[in-house]
């Protein structure tokens, strides 16, 4: 299972074929580390590296049950009172076919951007599921942390926010059922901002954190 995954985004990916090359960096008793690079091909046939990832893996099932937390699941309406595409909610600008694979319902309090009335707060909240109804697993959490619209929309900024770096920590195997995602931005400066995502499962456990 992934425990800690750090990705640096090098160049903008385009839809189409890609090659991923992997390397085992270290194999340990409880934790092992690997590296991967995703390549695509330029017009002249040369390889262009898109993303490079360092990741540490372990076995979530072997971890002790102890939890000490001050983190609480986000306060947001039931799934039925959140907004998805079938509720006339706006499509995420710039999004592509990938959103058809997802079942995202946004907290109405964080979709002001869609009607030209952003809250001015760097927050985004929603329910996350996979469109085919599959339950979440540790690997799918890596998608969950990065699937909501950017908090910058609620800060009143338009345009896409390219990612420089994304690190995700997986904390336990998620229980079946829909996930809640809360993303906050504390600080925007010099054209860069951080997004802190927390993912909660149906058993109210914090299953993933990312920045």
Measure the CA–CA gap between 146 and 156, rounded to whole angstroms: 19
Check residue 25 for interaction with a copy of itself (CB under 8 A): yes
Which CB atom, from 117 or from 131, has the smaller least distance to a copy of itself?
A: 117
DSSP assigned state of 95: -
144 and 181 in contact (C-beta within 8 Å)?
yes
> Could you tell me how many residues of this chain bind a copy of itself (CB under 8 A)?
48
Nearer to a copy of itself, 98 or 164 (CB): 164
Which phi and psi (to 5°) does residue 177 adopt? 110, 175
CA distances to 118, 127, 142, 156 from 113, rounded to whole Å, are 4, 18, 25, 7
167 touches a copy of itself by CB under 8 A:
yes
Measured CA distances, 3 to 14, 28, 58, 67, 164 (Å) = 28, 14, 6, 16, 20
First to last CA, the chain: 19
In the complex with a copy of itself, the residue whose CB is nearer, 69 or 86, is 69
Q: Are 171 and 197 in contact (CB under 8 A)?
A: no
* Interactions with a copy of itself, residue window 92-111 (CB under 8 A): none
Q: Which of residues 61-80 bind a copy of itself (CB under 8 A)?
A: 63-71
Cα angle 198, 174, 124; round to 5: 25
Site mask for a copy of itself (CB under 8 A), range 32-61, x = bound:
-x-x-------------x--x-xxx---x-
* Of positions 77, 84, 140, 194, contacts a copy of itself by CB under 8 A: 194
Q: Which residue, 83 or 170, has its beta carbon nearer to a copy of itself?
A: 170
Binding site for a copy of itself (CB under 8 A): 3-4, 6, 8, 10-11, 25-26, 28, 31, 33, 35, 49, 52, 54-56, 60, 63-71, 121-122, 155, 164-165, 167, 169, 171-172, 186-192, 194, 205-206, 209, 211
């Amino acid at each position: 299972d992934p425990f800690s995954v750090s990705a640096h985004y090098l160049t903008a990916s385009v839809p189409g074929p890609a090659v991923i090359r992997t390397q085992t960096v270290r194999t340990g008793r409880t934790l092992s580390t690997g590296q991967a690079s995703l390549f695509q091909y330029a017009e002249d046939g040369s390889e262009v590296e898109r993303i490079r990832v360092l990741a540490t893996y372990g076995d979530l099932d072997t971890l002790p049950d102890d939890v000490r937390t001050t983190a609480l699941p986000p306060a947001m309406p039931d799934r039925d009172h959140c907004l998805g595409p079938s509720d006339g909610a706006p499509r995420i600008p710039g999004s592509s076919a990938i959103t058809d694979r997802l079942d995202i319902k946004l907290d109405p309090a964080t979709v002001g951007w869609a009607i030209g009335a952003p809250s001015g707060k760097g927050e985004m909240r929603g329910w996350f599921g996979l469109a085919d109804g599959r339950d979440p697993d540790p690997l799918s959490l890596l998608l969950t942390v990065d699937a909501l619209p950017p908090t910058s929309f609620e800060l009143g900024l338009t345009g896409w926010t390219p990612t420089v770096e994304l690190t995700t920590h997986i904390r336990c195997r998620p229980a079946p059922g829909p996930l809640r995602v809360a993303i906050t931005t504390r600080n925007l400066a010099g054209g860069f901002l951080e997004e802190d995502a927390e993912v909660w499962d149906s058993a109210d456990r914090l299953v993933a954190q990312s920045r």
